[in-house]
A and B are shown apart, each in its own frame.
Chain A
Amino acid sequence: MSEKNLFCYLMVAPALFLTLILGVYPMIDTMIISFQDYDLLTLQSGGVNWVGIDNYSKILADERFVQTIWQTVWMTVLAILFSVSAGLLLAQIINVNFKGRGILRTVVLSPWFVPPVTASAIWIWLLNTNASPINQVLMDWGLIDSNIRFLADSTTWGPFNIPMLSVVAVRSWNGLPIIIIFLLAGLQSIPKSLYEAADMDGAGMFQKFYHVTLPMLRPVLMILLALLFLGGFGHFEMNYVMTGGGPRNLTNVLAVWTYQEGFQFLRYGKAAAASGIILLMTITISIFYLWVESKDNRK
């Protein structure tokens, strides 16, 4: 091993060590537990036995769990769709030089300063059926005649419902700043000459966006989407604090379901199996991302 390589290994060793201890080991341990009847209430008296895929069979036979998987996917997709669309628009605006850009940047990035749990508590009040200022404004404008039950209405349209959309909106709002920063960095790395060439070819605003901006942002967007999907499938705080999965399990997501199974019902085995499902979903996204990346690199 060359001296340079040794130096590199030494440099990454602390981070690698921490990742192994705090990331990989708990993950492997959780996967082991997912194949055991690990029940906190009987742990000391009954011990732990191997049960194969029993925990997986049980949770996948539970309608509520299957509903939760779909909701996790839908909420993640919607949150990404909303936040990336808004992020693309806002990043373009912020990228342009104009008076007051600094103020706009601060306003747009401000959700980043609010921790998700605090943001949830604030939004719970803003979305309270009887006290919501949003309802008040809509009533004053004559747009509604009875309060919208933002976090409690269980009327559904296919897989969608108002509480789900409300939570998605808050998740999008809270996640927007990091998306804007990613996209802004991407936008600033696009050579101006490409836009000048497009101008010379007579391209309009949308054509420039479609033929220049989007292709040039593709590498940033790919990594961003991969990260958002990975984070979205494991999202916990806002769903748990704002609705706890209700009403009628309509906003439940896998991480909340896992928490409830493990820490409320004290069945670690089943909770670990649910974590296994999340892991499977995130691995799928990672493999897909790596496949697309390698395909691009081969071109």
Chain B
Amino acid sequence: MNLTKKLALLAFSSTMAIASVAKAETTIDFWSQPYGDQIKWQESYEALIEKYEASQSDVKVNFEILPWSDSRTKWLAIAQGGAAPDCADMWWLHSFSAIGGDKYGPMPLGDLASKLPIDEFYPGAMQDASWRGDIYGVPWRGDVRLMLYRSDAMKEAGIEDAPDTWDEVVEVAKKLTVRDGNNVTRWGYGFGTSAKIVDWLMPLYWQAGGEFMTEDGKTATIDNDAMRTALKWMHDMVNVHKVADPDSFEKGYVARPLFVANRVAMFGSAEQAWGKRMEAENPEVNGLWSFARSAKGPEDRDSFSGAGYLGVLRGTEKAEACVNWLSFLAKDENMQALSEASGNVATKPAVMASEFWTDRPYKLVVAEALQDAHTSQHPAPAWSAVSTSEPGGILYDMIYSTVIEQKDMDEAIKKAQGLMQAELDRTE
């Protein structure tokens, strides 16, 4: 081989090598909050990434876990231009989109959305991945809440079936409440397992026939009879029937140890992920608890539902690679893997029909409860501020002053309506 040929071969080989290196250098940064056991969650994702990378020669996925303790501040920083991954498991789409505007935060997918199997998801779940007509990704987890009760306490009180209506809840809660002198050793009812008391009001208000705002997210709609009905029911459970613990409205209240210790017999709005968590972490109460669909209020039995979605961040130059990765994750078997690892309900009917979601009685109830799901996202960027469960929060203060301080309900609702409208106007 003469020198010219050798040089040509060398140049060709070098070009090919450089090309292949360049091709393999597409790495997308992907973040996820942890769900359930963090190590198992990491392993689940690593297995999916391995599978994905084996099917793609040119894309690598750099996976990082974003702890929940940092999640809120991190996403707030990202929505203001902080260092962001290319794509991620996200939440609060409406607020972070509003904060980021068209510069930072979640990125509408535009034409790239056609690569995703949008039609295969529950339409309700897609609400959490869409905003103002744009699709931002695919929903991957649901957080539907339903009734949770101690079946042993029910049996002990001679009650056969879980209560089905608000009136039945009151009667059952009275029977389940156990008093010892001035103290209550077991409360018959708890409003919710989440520490956020605004989350407790939401399903009750919907069940009473209310909606927090108009569909365009511009007008607050809480000064009405439905809100009075919901708040009066909460008030009466605490102060008239005395079956719900007033301390549960305070920050330090932690629900699960009390439920496990049989100090609270029933929760009206329990996170379904508790099922998997209690099976794994509290085996001593296996067989002693059950789920049931939310009790029906005066109008219907809507249940709180939240969802997380997998989306892309503005500023990335790898949007297409991200969407391909999300498209891979959106396949039934991969959604199944994520659902199994996290214990969260899936957002695809095909996954909810799988053996995993039908092998226990409580899971069947969870799947059944999906028909009651009402999204907790609202079409207003300021909803996150309105619904904050902290002193000073508009809905929080309204609930607290009505139920705990027992102040004038009409006045509290009227004040909250005015403040909430001002918040909705804040972003107009």
How far apart are B188's CB and chain A's nearest CB, in angstroms?
13
Encode A233-261 as 1/0 by CB contact (under 8 A) with B.
Answer: 00000000111111111001000010011
**In the assembled complex, which residues on chain A have CB atoms less than 8 Å from the CB atom of B393?**
264-265
* Chain A residues bordering chain B, tally (CB within 8 A): 38
Minimum C-beta distance from B328 to chain A (A): 32
User: Judging by beta carbons under 8 Å apart, are A130 and B391 in contact?
Assistant: no
Residues of A within 8 A of B427 (CB): 41-42, 45
Assess the B183–A147 pair: CB atoms within 8 A: yes
Which interface class (under 10, 10 to 19, 20 to 34, 35 or more) fits B?
35 or more
The secondary structure that dominates the B interface is loop
The reply to whether A264 and B101 form a contact with Cβ atoms under 8 Å apart is: no
Interface-side segment among B289-297, B366-374, B377-385:
B377-385
Within 8 A of A (CB), among B253-267: 253-254, 257-258, 261, 263
Contact across chains for B391 and A246 when beta carbons are under 8 A apart: yes
Q: Is the CB of B181 within 8 A of A40?
A: no
Stretch of A7-15, A50-58, A121-129, A217-225 at the chain-chain interface = A121-129
**Which residues 10-41 of A sit at the B interface, judged by CB distance below 8 A?**
39-41
Contact A41 to B95, CB < 8 A, known contacts A131-B258, A244-B391? yes
Residues on the A chain within 8 Å of B76, using CB: 40, 263, 266
In the assembly, what is the distance between CA of A43 and CA of B97, in Å?
12
A234 CA / B255 CA spacing, docked (Å): 30
A136 to B48, CA, bound (A): 51
A44 within 8 A of B: yes
Determine the residue in chain A with the shortest Cβ distance to B100: A44
B391 near A152: Cβ-Cβ < 8 Å: no
CA distance A221 to B400 in the complex (A): 43
Beta-carbon contact of B99 and A265 below 8 Å: no
Answer yes or no: B118 CB below 8 A from chain A CBs.
no
A41 touches B382 (CB 8 A): yes
Chain B residue at smallest Cβ distance from A65 = B392
Q: Which residue of B lies closest to A46 (CB)?
A: B427
In the bound complex, residues from chain B placing their C-beta under 8 Å from that of A244 are 250-252, 390-391
Structural contact, A125 and B254, CB atoms closer than 8 A: yes
Task: Encode contact with B along A55-73: 1 for CB under 8 Å, 0 otherwise.
Answer: 0000000001000000000
Q: How far is the CA of A235 from the CA of B251 in the complex (A)?
A: 17
The reply to whether B183 and A152 contact each other, CB–CB distance below 8 Å, is: no
Alpha-carbon distance between A31 and B76 when the two chains are bound, in angstroms: 20
Partner pick for B391 among A129, A146, A252, CB 8 A cutoff: A252
- A264 near B390 (CB under 8 angstroms)? yes
- Output the nearest chain B residue to A145 by Cβ-Cβ distance: B182
User: Given A40-B76, A41-B385, A45-B427: A149 and B247 within 8 A (CB)?
Assistant: yes
Shortest Cβ distance from residue B129 to the other chain A in the assembled complex, whole angstroms = 21
Which has the most chain A C-beta neighbours within 10 Å: B73, B384, B391, B427?
Answer: B391
Q: Please, how many angstroms separate the alpha-carbon atoms of A41 and B254 in the complex?
A: 31
Check if B61 is an interface residue, CB within 8 A of chain A.
Answer: no
Which residue of B has the minimal Cβ distance to A120? B252
**Given A124-B252, A145-B181, are A129 and B247 also a contact pair (CB < 8 Å)?**
yes
Alpha-carbon gap, A288 to B335, bound state (A): 62
Query: Which A residues touch B400, using CB under 8 A?
Result: 248
Q: How far is the CA of A127 from the CA of B254 in the complex (A)?
A: 12
For the complex, is A273 an interface residue (Cβ under 8 Å from B)?
A: no
Q: When the two chains form the complex, which single residue of B80, B101, B390 contacts A245, counting CB atoms closer than 8 Å?
A: B390
Among B252, B257, B392, contact of A260 (Cβ-Cβ < 8 Å) = B392
Q: Is B102 an interface residue (CB 8 A)?
A: yes
Is B358 on the interface with A (CB-CB < 8 A)?
Answer: no
Q: Which B residues from 374 to 428 make CB contacts under 8 A with A?
A: 381-382, 384-385, 388, 390-393, 400, 404-405, 426-427
Please state if A242 and B183 are interface contacts (CB–CB under 8 Å): no
Residues on the B chain within 8 Å of A44, using CB: 98-104
Min CB distance B182 to A, Å, is: 4
- Residue from A43, A242, A249, A266 in contact with B252 in the complex, judged by beta carbons closer than 8 Å: A242
* Chain B 95-136 interface mask (CB, 8 Å, partner A; 1/0): 100111111100000000000000000000000000000000
Task: Tell me the smallest distance from the CB of A166 to a CB of chain B, in Å.
Answer: 10
Closest 8 CB pairs of A and B: A44-B101, A244-B251, A146-B182, A152-B247, A124-B252, A264-B388, A152-B250, A151-B252
Query: Can you list 16 A-B pairs with a CB-CB distance of less than 8 A?
Result: A40-B79, A41-B98, A41-B382, A44-B101, A64-B391, A128-B258, A130-B187, A130-B263, A152-B250, A243-B252, A245-B251, A247-B249, A247-B404, A252-B391, A264-B390, A265-B392
- List residues of chain A with CB under 8 Å of any chain B CB: 39-45, 64, 124-125, 127-131, 145-147, 149, 151-152, 241-249, 252, 257, 260-261, 263-266
Q: With A41-B427, A127-B252, A147-B182 given, name 13 new contacts (CB 8 A).
A: A40-B99, A41-B98, A43-B80, A44-B103, A125-B257, A130-B258, A131-B261, A147-B183, A151-B252, A244-B252, A244-B390, A247-B404, A264-B385
